[in-house]
Structure 1
Amino acid sequence: MSGRYDIAIVGAGIAGASLAAAIGPRASVLLLEAEDLPGYHATGRSAAFWSESYGGPGVQPLTTASGPALRDGGFLQPLGSLHIGRAEDTAKIDEFLAEFAGTGVVLNSVDPAALVPGLRPDWTLGVMEASSAYIDVAALHADCLARAKRTGVTLVTQAGLRAAERVGGAWRLDTEAGMFEAAVVVDAAGAWADSIARVAGAAPIGIQPYRRTVVQLRTDPPSHEGLPHVADISGNFYFKPEAGGRLWLSPHDETPVDPHDVQPEELDVAIGIDRFEHVVDWRVTAVERRWAGLRSFAPDRLPVYGFDAHVPGFFWCAGQGGFGIQTAPAAAELAAALLLGVTPDESVAAIDPAVYAPTRF
């Protein structure tokens, strides 16, 4: 054996890294990463914004509870999010406002034309979510890994899991980097979560990866100073300003795919630009970059945290969709309490963990 640990976490993206940082002071932890570097897939390709409404009311408590830690750590910068619609979207706007009534998320009806220069006249409906912010994903992920390292967590890269066998109350893990042993295995493998479950003999939950495309544009006019994140209430696009007058745009695509090193499709890029040109009268002068990432959801689109009901010592930390980064502090504290069998941190004490339990499937 190359090493024996209390807990082995499979996946060193934001889910695994933040959990490792949370439990590192209280357990011996092995963090296994299949790639050369942690965060290569979903974490490294995030659109990098924090929105309390993103993911819906079931995710919002985790996002809101994460806000203080993210602000105190300097990972958030003001942005604001403007949800826009046309006259035919009135019912969707009303439903959106009703969904978050009483949650503490502040949403205000506004004139979108006052916030988006060049907005085409049919986009008449707007809801401003002022609390939304840029999130420094790379800094947050690096901070989690650094905190984990300081507590003695062992990170092993190029360590794809090939086999897992439970013998005598412990897991024997055959990885590309060698053999390891742990009392508990945590499945934080993102798009590969169901694949890891199969290796360990657990029934897959049905966590499906979806391709999401983002492009970096230059436009005329080039200045987007003061522009918020802008999202279609019907979910057909979003765009947000970036440094140097650039703009990030997504067609909000969700194409189901098998887990792999996903790449953007030219058709999705073209669809995104076409939708953008139907929103504002700006001219696209250059497509500077294009990329795609995997957003992986459980069947009910809520994350999954907890021990498997049928396989001893197998813990789920998966299904975090596109909101895994913005919920990372609270999700890690909640998952840590469940994993270690301790009282949850006060930051997540009001959140019911049963909502996210794997036993719901």
Structure 2
Amino acid sequence: MTRPDIVIVGGGIAGASLGAVLAEQASVLMLEMEANAGYHATGRAVSFWEETYGGLAVQPLTTASGPMLSSPDPEFSRSSFLSPRRTLHIGRPDDAAARDRLLEEFDGKVALHGVDPAMLVPGLRPEWTLGVLEPGVCDIDVAALHQAWLRRFRRLGGQVRLATALRGAEARDGGWRIETDGGVIDCGLIVNAAGAWADDVAVACGVEPIGIAPLRRTVVQLRVPTMPSADLPLIMDICSQFYFKPEGEGRVWLTPHDEEPSLPCDAAPEELAVAEAITRFEAVVDWPVAAVERKWAGLRSFSRDRAPVYGFDSATRGFFWFAGQGGFGIQTSPAAALLGAAILKGEALPPAVAKIDPTPYSPARFS
């Protein structure tokens, strides 16, 4: 590939999914600074397909992605990426306003109904009296999905250069000249799908950053031998103080739902966040914690209004933003890739995303 039409910076779920769509009609080169694509946020996600997760700005993308994740094109995957889970949103009496807001915001958009949470979660402490069940929620096989995007990208002629970071770029001759660890690359367009490093990539290209902020999220794996069942719902606090879900027999994945500002880095868990997660868990259920088996952290990157950013930069020609996807990039990846590709190519939205208004995701809103 002597002069690719498009260079995508970042090989996580964002870059892989968009690349797999763009490679149908263009020559695309993907630059990944790590030795393995998806090393950071994608590889550390506790991911699920949940239509309320991320709020109203994200819900249309999640909803449109559902059919493509559950019944993918056989050439993309021979099996579904989803498995049934359900989410139980829980709260205490003082959380009634948050419960009502959840039901009102998604009325007519997402199937939700009130339940007695104690009927679904044996061992739930008695003060957790409010419950909203979201029955359509599913677990996502993140690794399978990411690899499926990369396989499709390569099958269509896309190329991936691992351990190759963008160090700088200059607009010239109607395109870009990019300086990388592996030498100089000339291309037509740059797609910034660099996750936590999105603003850094922009600056390296002489583009004004738009305020993509990395926030650290901590996760722990607990061994809880007396957990009633591996088929329990994902349990999510209505006020966003925690969520946890079974991960096989006698194990739980738990997060305190922390959002600690961070520089772009190889994120690591902090002991205070781990301790806070366990404290919150023990205040919800009476399942004794036998051990902390694993702990890790990842960076979820948000724009200033917490909606994703898809579109050409307002001031710099040929620089396309595909970033700020928070913790929702995996569950929205099929719809986001179709939407982003249509915007980049200046084409009509394909049927699967035709009802989605791209305007709220445009970087022009930050101009």
Alignment partners' CA distance in 2, 1:132 and 1:213: 22
The Cα of 1:340 is off from its aligned counterpart by 1.0
* Bigger shift: residues 241-250 or 230-239: 241-250
8 A Cα contact 2:229 2:249, kept in partner: no
Deviations 1:17-74 (A, max 9, x none): 0000011111000011000010000000001211000000110000000000100131
Helix, strand or coil for the counterpart of 1:284? coil
Per-residue deviation at 1:245?
Answer: 2.5
Q: Which amino acid aligns with 1:133?
A: C
- 2:91 matches 1:92: no
**SS of the residue aligned with 2:292?**
strand
**Correspondences of 1:122-161 after superposition (within 5 Å):** 122-161=127-166
| Pairing 1:43–2:42 present | yes
Name the structure 1 match of 2:54: 55
Q: Deviations for 1:210-249, whole angstroms, at most 9, x for unmatched residues?
A: 0000000111414423210000001110000112321100
Match of 2:246 in 1: 241
Alignment of 1:192-341 (within 5 A): 192-341=197-346
Q: Give TM-score, length-normalised by structure 1.
A: 0.98
Aligned with 1:356 (options 335, 349, 361): 361
Aligned-partner SS, 2:224 = strand
Give, in angstroms, the shift of residue 108 of structure 1: 0.7
| Contact preservation (8 Å) 1:159, 1:178 | no
* Aligned residue among 85, 91, 94 for 1:79: 85
Structure 2: distance between partners of 1:18 and 1:174: 24
Partner secondary structure for residue 21 of structure 1: helix
Q: Which residue of 2 aligns with 1:166?
A: 171
Measured after TM superposition, the shift of residue 97 of structure 1 is 0.6
Equivalent position SS for 2:344: helix
Contact 2:122 2:228 in 1 (8 A): no
Partner Cα separation in structure 1 for residue 45 and residue 36 of structure 2: 16
Is contact 2:225–2:250 with CA below 8 Å preserved after alignment?
no
Q: TM-score, normalised by structure 2?
A: 0.97
Structure 2 partner of 1:30: 29
SS in 2 for 1:25: coil
Distance, in Å, in 2 between the alignment partners of 1:168 and 1:230 is 54
The aligned amino acid for 1:42 is A
Deviations 1:50-106 (A, max 9, x none): 100000011000000000010013100000000000000000000011111122x10
State the secondary structure of the residue aligned to 1:306. strand
| SS of match in other structure, 1:244 | coil
1:268 & 1:326 partners in 2: Cα distance? 25
Alignment pair present for 1:117 and 2:122: yes
Which one-letter code corresponds to 1:3 in the other structure?
A: T
User: For residue 93 of structure 2, what is the amino acid of its counterpart?
Assistant: A
The amino acid across from 2:308 in the alignment is P
Deviation of residue 152 (structure 1)? 0.1
Alignment partners' CA distance in 2, 1:317 and 1:335 = 7
Kindly report structure 1 stretches of 4+ aligned residues shifted beyond 4 Å: none
Deviations 1:101-129 (A, max 9, x none): 122x1001000001111000000000000
Q: Counterpart of 1:84 in structure 2: which amino acid?
A: I
1:172-207 deviation line (CA, Å, top 9, x unaligned): 111112211111000000000000010111111111
The aligned counterpart of 2:66 is 67
Cα separation, 1, equivalents of 2:212 and 2:272: 25
Contact in 1 for aligned 2:230/2:249 (Cα 8 Å): no
Aligned residues: 359
Return the alpha-carbon distance in structure 2 between the equivalents of residues 86 and 223 of structure 1: 22
C-alpha contact (below 8 Å) 2:69/2:334 kept by paired residues = yes
User: Which consecutive unaligned segments of at least 5 residues does structure 1 have?
Assistant: none
Name the residue aligned to 1:176. 181
Q: d(CA) in 2 for partners of 1:71 and 1:102?
A: 22
**For each residue in 1:144-187, what CA deviation from the matched residue of structure 2 results, as whole angstroms up to 9, or x when unmatched?**
00000000001001110001011111111111122111110000
**Aligned-residue CA RMSD in angstroms?**
0.9
Cα 1:223–1:3 change in 2 (3 A) is farther
Is the CA contact (8 Å cut-off) linking 1:222 and 1:245 kept in structure 2?
A: yes
